[in-house]
Homo-oligomer: A and B are copies of this chain.
Amino acid sequence: MNYPLELIAPSNYVLATTEAENAPIVLAGVLLSLIVIYLASKLGGELSRMLDFPPVLGELVGGVVVGASALHLLVFPESGATASDSMLMTVLQLFDEISPEAVTSIFESQSEAVSILAELGVIVLLFEIGLESDLRELQKVGYQAAIVAVVGVVAPFVAGTAGLMLLFNVPVLPAVFAGAALTATSIGITSKVLSELGHLKSQEGQIIVGAAVIDDVLGIIVLAVVASLAKTGEVDVFNVVYLIISASAFLIGSILLGKFFNKTFVFTAELFKTRGNIVITAFIFALFMSFVANAIHLEAILGAFAAGLVLDETDKRNELDEQVIPIADILVPIFFVSVGAKVDLSVLNPVVPENRQGLILAIFLIVVAIIGKVITGWSVFGKPGINRLAIGVGMVPRGEVGLVFAGIGAASGALDKPLQAAIIIMVILTTFIAPPLLRLAFGDAPQDAVEEADAAS
């Protein structure tokens, strides 16, 4: 019996083997990148925790250390790096002889894979934040928190954008982006610090956390609007109005539709009996919402956030929460470390004269970021004797969402390197100074019982 020729040497054999030669090296590059990312995130996070700062800050700083600013282990072509800038590619070349053309293609393939993993990381992060934001709790805190939130979004946004345009002649688009990056208070960091200080359940603490939640939602809408502007490259009033309406309609619409989907979700998850019935069903929904948000030219993360809000209302919430945690644990650090790694802090090195403009920009952003949030305390009405300074200071820490702004702004080309570096420095500094300032503002006298703080941490 003869074996047909095509079975011995199929036409795509040569192509397939050329690709196949590179595939294990691309995989090796991705594995090495992930090892670097996890080491940076864990070492940075733990060091940060030991110094009493939020771990996320350490993950970011860990990213800065392994990235374009220092070790060059993790660099990305979209920030202008080539394969020869990458220490990781140098390591890979120790194990395999790689031709010069292959080096570039391997570098780009593995960087793209890491970027997609980071994007999936931020989608999971926003899904988790959505799962953690309780719509009913929010309704309780009511108007006080809403006013603090709105002031805390409008004040730094207007002051930041206008200041950058008028004082520094920054073009509209980057100015709007940087202004928007000043808006969102970090729920995670704020509530962590409050619980550590024992003020989570105080009147001030309740308003701060409520405002931070609303603030995050507003921030994500602002992000969706600003990122879409970055795609078209110009600020068109009609477009802004369309985006604000579509982002709000998407979020409100998904919450309303969610009341119906809740039951479908629980029904489907219970119908399924194989492994991963809850988490895969939830992921199909979250990815679908992300895809829809992306398809109507909003941000994918807005969809993930909406999906989280919706599923938080179901009976499967606790089970889902538990299963999402390990998934977030392995995907989210890829995002934070990548954001840190993409920043080139050397553009702010004060020794180089031409960097000083960027430095002044960073100082300006930090000042606006702090003052724009501290004043929110004085927007609280009908609460004589409340600690207004504490509320304002409590709103200062930025964090996850601010970094999302920096990451997406840089990826879309709206933010140049000095502005991006200035935003990262702003996020790092506001988060670093918040814990000691809050201690000062509260006069170092914890009000809650210790077990409450422990329960919330």
Residues of chain A having any CB pair with chain B under 8 Å = 1-4, 6-8, 10, 12-13, 15-17, 19-21, 23-24, 26-28, 30-32, 34-35, 38-39, 41-42, 45-46, 49, 55, 78-80, 95, 109, 112-113, 115-116, 119-120, 167-171, 230-231, 233, 271-277, 279-281, 283-284, 287-288, 290-291, 294-295, 300, 323-327, 329-330, 333, 354, 357-358, 411-413, 416-419
Closest to A4 in B: B357
Known: A42-B274, A416-B7. A283 touches B330 (CB 8 A): yes
Q: Are A329 and B95 in contact (CB under 8 A)?
A: no
| A294 cross-chain contacts in B, Cβ below 8 A | 24, 27-28, 31
Known: A46-B273, A113-B112, A357-B7. A78 touches B19 (CB 8 A): yes
Q: Are A35 and B291 in contact (CB under 8 A)?
A: yes
Known: A330-B283, A412-B20. A168 touches B1 (CB 8 A): yes
Which of A34, A45, A230, A295 has the most C-beta atoms of chain B within 10 angstroms of its own C-beta? A295
| A55 cross-chain contacts in B, Cβ below 8 A | 274-275
Closest to A324 in B: B326
Known: A28-B295, A31-B300, A284-B39. A13 touches B413 (CB 8 A): yes
Q: What is the minimal beta-carbon distance from A20 to any residue of chain B, in angstroms?
A: 5
| A329 cross-chain contacts in B, Cβ below 8 A | 275-276, 279-280, 323
Number of copies: 2
Q: Are A283 and B38 in contact (CB under 8 A)?
A: yes
| A169 cross-chain contacts in B, Cβ below 8 A | 1-3
Which of A24, A41, A49 has the most C-beta atoms of chain B within 10 angstroms of its own C-beta? A24
Q: Are B295 and A411 in contact (CB under 8 A)?
A: no
Q: What is the minimal beta-carbon distance from A325 to any residue of chain B, in angstroms?
A: 7
Checking B8, B12, B17 against A80 with a beta-carbon cut-off of 8 angstroms, the contacting residue is: B12
Q: Could you tell me the distance between the alpha carbons of A98 and B29 in the complex, rounded to whole angstroms?
A: 30
Known: A31-B300, A116-B27, A169-B2. A276 touches B413 (CB 8 A): no
Known: A279-B330, A294-B31. A287 touches B7 (CB 8 A): no
Closest to A167 in B: B1
Known: A16-B413, A116-B27, A287-B34. A171 touches B327 (CB 8 A): no
| A412 cross-chain contacts in B, Cβ below 8 A | 16-17, 20, 23
Known: A28-B291, A287-B35, A291-B31. A49 touches B274 (CB 8 A): yes
Q: What is the minimal beta-carbon distance from A353 to any residue of chain B, in angstroms?
A: 11
Q: Could you tell me the distance between the alpha carbons of A358 and B141 in the complex, rounded to whole angstroms?
A: 69
| A274 cross-chain contacts in B, Cβ below 8 A | 42, 45-46, 49, 55
Q: What is the minimal beta-carbon distance from A115 to any residue of chain B, in angstroms?
A: 8
Closest to A109 in B: B112
